[in-house]
Structure 1
Amino acid sequence: MSDFHVLIAGGGVGGLTLAQGLKRAGISCAVYERDPAGAPRSGYRLTMNADGGNALRACLPDDLYDLYLQASRKTPPRGVAVVIDEQCHELTTQPHLGPPNDGERPHTAIDRRTLRHILRAWLGDALHDDAAVTGFTDHGDHVEAQLADGSTVTGDVLVAADGVGSAVRRQLMPDVEIIPADVGGLGLFARSPLTPEVLAELPDVLLDGFVIARDKRGGMLALGVYDPREPVAEAAARIAPDIHMDAVDPYMMISGGVPPGTSAPAPADWTDDTPAEVHAGMREVVADWHPALRGLVERIDLSTLFWFPFRRLDPVPAWPSSRVTLLGDAIHAMMPTRGQGANMALRDAGILSARLAGAARGEQDVVAAIGDYEQAMRDYVYPIMDLSEDHSRFGGGGLKQGSGA
């Protein structure tokens, strides 16, 4: 087993979880992340369910899993996503997907950067930042990956966890089309501070797991609370004192709020003035909304505003399995409507790490093990991709009042 080595292209939550699972199984691996350490955010709060949480339980050391739970949101939501009108009247709900999610500390939500800090912990020399995988050569009995600096690395398996724009997938499946995802302005992200006083005065409906508020003019906001069970830095000092964790104060993640008929500037076009200009548009959208919603928008920290254009993939028909495989957004990037992208990447990582561990122990041929993982992934995730496509019906607030699943 000690000679078996896995190359992982991409150091997002899926690639890092895979690395943790392989390390726990005693398998050598290396993660090659294209961005330097501390790269810009691609989001704030991640809604977690038992698919993602169970994968973390299987892959992480006990200490890091405990830290994940303590750094997660303290208040269990109702287990539904909610659509409300601009006066905080509930219109409809959709149940969260996934296996049963209960117990003393159910999976709730976590700050994305906090989770990445946890997942990077103790990986040591396996982490390579600012090292993009640009292509590969499959030699049949091993894989050689090319890096952006012109060097190459060799392993028994290459796993593409490098996102929707995956260079590995582009070579493996050149006909797969990346599709711009129109999410009605929900690519605009910001944080609004949640002091105990603010939190105490929010209507209960705003404290549910994931809330979409909209008016009849087309204004829309998505909201999600992040208030950890234990202050993040304190939890790290208590559970894993050798890990540095940035303090994260409670916040409301806010997404959307672009005035109907407009869009936020592309990321490359942002200037020092753009956050204030975007914020003015957001305040205009909610000018006659419920005071709690207006207050959340008014208190947005302008330094946290950014724009992230969503893109998606259609389900890819089955392909011949090889020593090169894919997980997460690299193969099933989906609309954010149901909050499943991160959970599915984590689930992929949990299953794939177990399959590769079995292959490393000689229990199964490597390519056969990868093929089993790929089929299990398609069977489970592709129907969720289809559900997430129904953005205009649920994410757009189009369900009839009182409708359920």
Structure 2
Amino acid sequence: MAKQVKPYVILIIGAGSTGLALAAGFQKNGIKALVFEKDASLTEKSRDWNMGLHWGAAVLRGLLPDTAWERLQSVQVDPNVPTKVLDSMYFLNSQTGERIGAAEIDNFYRLKRSKLRALLAENLGIRFEKKLAAIEYSADRTTVTAKFEDGSSETGTMIVGADGARSVTRNLIVGLDSSASCRIPYAATFAQASFTQEQAIQLRSFHALYLAGIHPDGYFSFFGMQDATDAEKPETWIFFFYISFGSTLEEQDKMAQWSNAEKLRLVKQKARQYADPWKSAYEWLPDDHPVWYMGFTDWDPGAEGHHWDNHGGLVTLAGDAAHTMTYQRGQGLNHSITDASKIVKAVKSVISREKSQEEAIKIYEEEMICRAGNEVRMSTQNTAMLHNWEQVLQSPLMRRGLKKD
């Protein structure tokens, strides 16, 4: 039997959805976990988005107390629309508006990220303004210390880096040369906006929650709800939509320097070649409406040079920090929640003395690297195919929808 280390304290770096779900899972199982977040609060950054939870729903339920799971409906982009046992996401030829396909989805929760984080964070006692600077390991391989930029430190039994696609934890354990996300020659311009009552009703008539569009010119697009809390006031609804397109790294570097008005102008030009709802939504945006632009990246934990030393199970990665993937196939949150569940299971096996910490974390990492690494590669392939009209019908999204591979 493996020797149990007491007290058992998990240090979680990052208060995103992964880190908070992980902490909630530990709390549910009576295991002490401390969450460290570099920002001053969960709401410090104004940018918000939404995420799809489907095959990972049962996994998340296992991490949450029943009282929190029962309120999951309240954190959906529209809490007034019950989650269907079976729903469909429609794919349109976004130039003509013709439907070219549909993906059936079981129990598809469309969650507003800020609301999900607030739900997961309840009673966790997050430590804010803690930016990781270094990691130190004890000589006897029983403890690990997180050192922060403010000069403070915390020692625990394990560190889990759940600090996102630009993970500092990943930088520290993989090395700067290999830890940087791989840039992909695709980019997107995102918008969130409210409209007049009449306009909002018209835009939502295409689908209550989400719609995907594929353009023959090599563009992919999404249109859906971000917040429809007040069902009786369409003018308060917030829509979330984007157009993505092929863009070389040189073009991305140039566009990153553009003004907001220039980025909006370009995407409005593309939207003129679209059918509704995209055409009208972009046309109705004022020329000074804020948008954000982002080049696509990935990071495959199974790629050559991406292996890390976990120092006998003292440090590991989860979520986007472990497997940054493109988002058109909607798999990121589901894999991240699965990571959290498997880490909780691993730690429980250590505390119960069924496994050593080194063995338990090795098992977690081997499974995660295979499962999520495969999805990173599939999602990147999917992104390329969705931007190629000749190949789009063979893309994983069109063939498999949002189902787990």
Q: Normalising TM by the smaller chain, what interval?
A: 0.7 to 0.9
Question: Which residue of 1 is the match for residue 363 of structure 2?
Answer: 372
Q: Which has the higher contact order (CA 8 A, sep 6+)?
A: 1
The reply to whether residue 65 of structure 1 matches residue 69 of structure 2 is yes
Tell me how large the CA RMSD over aligned residues is.
3.3
1:56 to 33, 41, 60: 60
Task: Say how many residue pairs are matched.
Answer: 372
Question: Which residue of 2 is the match for residue 307 of structure 1?
Answer: 293
One-letter code of the match for 1:135? A
1-structure distance, mates of 2:247, 2:165: 27
- State the 1:355 CA deviation: 1.9
SS at 1:281's partner residue?
helix
- Structure-to-structure mapping, 1:383-402, within 5 angstroms: 383-390=374-381, 391-399=383-391
SS at 1:50's partner residue?
coil
- State the 1:13 CA deviation: 0.7
SS at 2:145's partner residue?
strand
Which range is displaced more, 334-343 or 157-166?
334-343
One-letter code of the match for 1:152? S
- Structure-to-structure mapping, 1:112-261, within 5 angstroms: 112-124=113-125, 127-139=126-138, 140-174=141-175, 175-182=177-184, 184-186=186-188, 188-193=189-194, 197-198=198-199, 200-202=201-203, 206-207=207-208, 209-216=210-217, 218-226=218-226, 250-256=237-243
Identity %: 21
In structure 1, the gaps of 5 or more residues are 233-247
1-structure distance, mates of 2:89, 2:201: 21
CA distance 1:389–1:86, change in 2 (3 Å): same
SS at 1:145's partner residue?
strand
TM-score by length of 2: 0.80
1-structure distance, mates of 2:93, 2:316: 41
Which range is displaced more, 357-366 or 112-121?
357-366
CA distance 1:46–1:183, change in 2 (3 Å): farther
1-structure distance, mates of 2:332, 2:123: 25
CA distance 1:304–1:27, change in 2 (3 Å): farther
CA contact (8 A) 1:10 1:34 kept: yes
CA distance 1:263–1:207, change in 2 (3 Å): farther
- State the 1:60 CA deviation: 1.5
CA distance 1:34–1:81, change in 2 (3 Å): farther
One-letter code of the match for 1:6? I
CA contact (8 A) 2:181 2:298 kept: yes
Question: Which residue of 2 is the match for residue 283 of structure 1?
Answer: 268
- State the 1:134 CA deviation: 1.8
SS at 1:35's partner residue?
coil
TM-score by length of 1: 0.80
CA contact (8 A) 1:2 1:27 kept: no
2-structure distance, mates of 1:354, 1:231: 39
